[in-house]
Amino acid sequence: MKYILLIGAGFSRNWGGWLASEAFEYLLGHSDIIANNDLNELLWKHQLRGGFEEALAELQGNANTNLDTHKKNLGVLESAILDMFNEMNEAFKKIPDWDLQGTTKMVGKSNFDFLGKFDAIYTLNQDLLLEYHYIGSIVDPEIRTIV
């Protein structure tokens, strides 16, 4: 029997990853979003229904109409989202010990031991916590990641 782990959004919260509401707040506070009333309104419009991902989807659909304003706004929102994930991922890189046990390690009870039991791991997270701290530490040509 194969063992598959599906990690839901919020997995990285234990190590400081942001929840959807915090991502929303980050984007609203981003200088390029503050300076763009259309994007500010679009984010608020989708706050409770899909968040920034739904706002992004709407802009992507609108950009296909070839209106310069939609394309410009799409570029600004994509850049702000990249800034957000880059900031979060940079913080993840600096985590010295991402195991939930901290300094008191119990044999067979670490994140590595737990995750190593699965044949496949699928994550809904958009951050790179697993890539930096789990997959990046394993030397195995059979492991493939999609980033």
pLDDT band at 68 (very low <50, low <70, confident <90, very high): confident
Whether 15 shows a pLDDT value over 60: the answer reads: yes
Residues 22 and 63 in one domain: yes
Residues 124 and 75 in one domain: no
What is the tally of structural domains in the chain?
2
Question: Is 146 part of a structural domain of the chain?
Answer: no
In the chain, pLDDT over 90 holds for what percent of residues?
Answer: 36
Question: Is 120 part of a structural domain of the chain?
Answer: yes
Residues 129 and 116 in one domain: yes
User: Are 87 and 126 in contact, with CB atoms under 8 Å apart?
Assistant: no
Residues 79 and 123 in one domain: no
Residues 74 and 103 in one domain: no
Q: What region, left, alpha or beta, does residue 8 occupy, with left being phi > 0 and alpha being psi -120 to 50 degrees?
A: beta
Question: Is 78 part of a structural domain of the chain?
Answer: yes
Question: Is 145 part of a structural domain of the chain?
Answer: no
Whether 121 shows a pLDDT value over 50: the answer reads: yes
User: Global pTM?
Assistant: 0.77
SS3 120: strand
Whether 101 shows a pLDDT value over 80: the answer reads: no
Question: Is 66 part of a structural domain of the chain?
Answer: yes
Residues 37 and 80 in one domain: yes
Residue pLDDT, tens place only, 30-66: 999 999 999 999 999 999 988 999 999 999 988 887 6
The residue range of the domain holding 43 is 18-93
Question: Is 88 part of a structural domain of the chain?
Answer: yes
Question: Is 117 part of a structural domain of the chain?
Answer: yes
Residues 60 and 113 in one domain: no
Residues 49 and 58: their CA atoms lie apart, in Å, by 12
Whether 98 shows a pLDDT value over 80: the answer reads: no
Which one has a higher pLDDT value, 105 or 21?
21
**What is the arithmetic mean of pLDDT over 118-134?**
80
pLDDT band at 86 (very low <50, low <70, confident <90, very high): very high
Per the DSSP assignment, residues forming a β-bridge with 7 are: 123
Question: Is 76 part of a structural domain of the chain?
Answer: yes
